[in-house]
Each structure stands twice: as C-alpha cells, then as structure tokens.
C-alpha cells in the first residue's frame, strides 16, 4: 500500500509539532533547579535568562578552587569571565534565532503542497512560532 503525499506531510507536521513543543517547553522551563554543579564551566554555559551573576560567580569559584587565585588574579579573571559570558550569550541568541527562522521558513515552503485546511493549520503554527520568536528572542 503506497503512502499518499498528504499522509506523509501529516506525519511530518505532527513530528515537527511535537519537536517544537518539546523545544518550547525546554526553553521556557530552562535549567532545572537542584542540578548538580558541573565539573567544568564549559559544560555549564550561561542560559538566556538573567543569570549573569550566578554563572560568573560559579565560574570564578571553580577557577579559584582549582588554581588558588590571588585577589588581583580574581579581579582579572572576573573581567574575562564576564566578557566570555557576554560572547556566549550573544552567540547563543543568534544561533536560536537562526535555527528558529529555518523552522518558520519550512512552514512557508510546505504551504504550496497542502490543501486549504492544512494550509490554515500550518499558517497558524507558523504565526504562533514567529510571535514566540519575536517575544522571546529579543
């Protein structure tokens, strides 16, 4: 029995919807509280929220524990860690915007292959995703 294009697209859209819902829940919930502290700062990058001070502080403490920094070295390390935080946060936001724009483009490219009710659903999904992007990734 040959699968129709409509069925294939329905399965693809359902899978995409599930993926996006999972991504959105993970993005909105963020990091779980009570997580074990990472063994390396590279494993525990800063999130997108207002987490600058805790991440910088944890990173500085980690370096201080391992290297026993002097007070002058701590000041210099804090400045470098803060700069790194800003770079990581900026590149992470850009990557999320880029990734999400591909998903929005996918919705637009699928439209010509769908019938009217499917188009209506995909347009709603696309617009909702675009609105989420406009609100959340600024």
- Tokens 């936001």 label which residue? 93
Contact 69, 77 (CB under 8 A): yes
How many whole angstroms separate alpha carbon 85 and alpha carbon 136? 19
In this prediction, residues 84-111 reach a mean pLDDT of 88
Q: What is the pLDDT of residue 33?
A: 45
What predicted TM-score, i.e. pTM, was given to this entire model? 0.50
129 vs 123, more confident: 123
Q: What is the pLDDT of residue 30?
A: 64
Residues 42-61 have pLDDT tens digits of: 334 555 555 667 889 999 99
Secondary structure element (H or E) that encloses residue 11, with its range: helix 5-29
């Amino acid at each position: 029995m040959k699968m129709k294009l409509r069925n294939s697209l329905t399965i693809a859209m359902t899978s995409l919807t599930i993926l996006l819902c999972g991504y959105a829940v993970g993005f909105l919930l963020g990091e779980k509280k009570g997580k074990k502290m990472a063994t390396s700062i590279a494993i525990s990058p800063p999130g997108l929220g207002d987490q600058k001070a805790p991440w910088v502080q944890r990173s500085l403490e980690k370096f201080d524990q391992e290297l026993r920094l002097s007070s002058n070295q701590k000041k210099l390390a804090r400045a470098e860690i803060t700069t790194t935080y800003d770079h990581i946060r900026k590149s992470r936001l850009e990557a999320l915007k880029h990734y999400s724009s591909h998903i929005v483009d996918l919705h637009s490219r699928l439209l010509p292959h769908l019938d009217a009710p499917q188009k209506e659903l995909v347009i709603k999904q696309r617009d909702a995703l675009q609105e989420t992007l406009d609100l959340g990734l600024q």
